[in-house]
Amino acid sequence: MTHLTLPRDHGGNLDAAQARFGGALGDWIDLSTGINPCPYPIPEIPADAWAALPRRREMDRLIEAARAAYGTQLAIAPLAGAQGAIQIVPYLRAAGQARVLAPTYNEHAGALRGAGWQVTECPTLDALAGADLAVVVNPNNPDGKHYPPKALQALAKTVGLLVVDESFADPTPDLSLCGTLDLPSNILILRSFGKFYGLAGLRLGFAIGAPELVMDITRMAGPWPVAGPAISIAEQALADRFWHGQTCLRLRAASARLDQLAQSAGWQLVGGTSLFRTYACPDAQATQDRLARAHLWTRIFPYSKQWIRLGLPGTEAQWERLTRALARE
């Protein structure tokens, strides 16, 4: 008998919000993800990117663009989002004892358990020591906790394989391990393209680390793990450092504006990044429902009755709608 596993809870589930609260898709503002609401402008895509299988030289150009953007000399494997790497990670080692710094993005523990690992979710960095495989999301989703590269390098000495998910690190490059010289060979770095560049639909991410480790991932991912149009767009976006810098400034200003609105509503900041903010309110479920009736979709968590996470509005009209809704809190 085949047993189907229910999908894990995520943001971006706007269809579920519509089913409960009605409204057409265009009526809604989706604040349930940490995706940049002002995406990189799509450049002209060569017709060949659609018609031909991606060639080695195009993949190599993408890898070089990522290497320059992330300031690294490490090996890189392009994949179908950071999620593509998360699905592969459990098979890089024989299943054993895994420890995940939690609470965090639930796909890490879910993918490991699905591959036969014994997973313990740990509240502190020190508690990860001794694991066959450890996972740290840095900066963390949803509370924004972050750890300096030296602390993670020290942790790597105490575990078999350390996976550091840097999906939200683009606005804070000082947190990244990518530029670390002599990075321990048992550290694997994951990066997401779609979140910061606002193009999650491209399904592009990168696994970065020692050549042997990345070679294993490349082999497991199979041929053509990334679509031709994604390669074409990302190659240009990653090289656009002016857009990157301006976007970092805009995101910092927007996240500060969101904090002010939340404070006016009586919420307390838990943490976050410049792409999303998590707050404590008296009743997260009731608050999500009230905002949903105004067709504003947010993210709450099964492990906390108070935490609610909001991404950033993308237009001034969206900011005004959110401001009006929070004023009624």
Please state the φ and ψ torsions of residue 10, each to the nearest 5 degrees. Answer: -145, 165
- Give the pLDDT confidence score for residue 10 in this predicted structure: 72
- 3-class SS of residue 180: coil
pLDDT at 5 over 70: no
The C-alpha R_g of the chain, in whole angstroms, comes to 20
pLDDT band at 6 (very low <50, low <70, confident <90, very high): very low
User: What is the predicted pLDDT for the residue at 9?
Assistant: 72
The predicted structure's pLDDT at residue 304: 97
Whether the per-residue pLDDT at 270 is higher than 80: the answer is yes
Higher pLDDT, 6 or 261: 261
What is the rounded average pLDDT for all residues in the chain? 95
Distances (CA, A) of 44 to 62, 234, 281: 16, 12, 44
Angstrom distance (rounded) from CA 272 to CA 294: 24
Handedness of CA 312, 314, 318, 319 (dihedral sign): positive
pLDDT at residue 71 is higher than 90: yes
**What's the whole-model pTM score?**
0.95
Alpha helix positions (H), 115-200? 149-156, 194-197
The pLDDT confidence band at residue 328, using thresholds 50, 70 and 90, is confident
- Rounded Cα distance between 235 and 257, Å, is 32
> Can you tell me the distance from the alpha carbon of 58 to that of 228, in angstroms, rounded to the nearest whole number?
8
Mean pLDDT across the stretch 88-111?
97
Mean pLDDT score, 178-195: 96
Question: Which residue has better confidence, 321 or 13?
Answer: 321
pLDDT of residue 329: 65
Would the pLDDT of 12 be above 80?
A: no
Beta-carbon contacts of residue 255 (< 8 Å; ≥ 6 apart):
272, 273, 274, 275, 277, 312
Averaged pLDDT for residues 82-86? 97
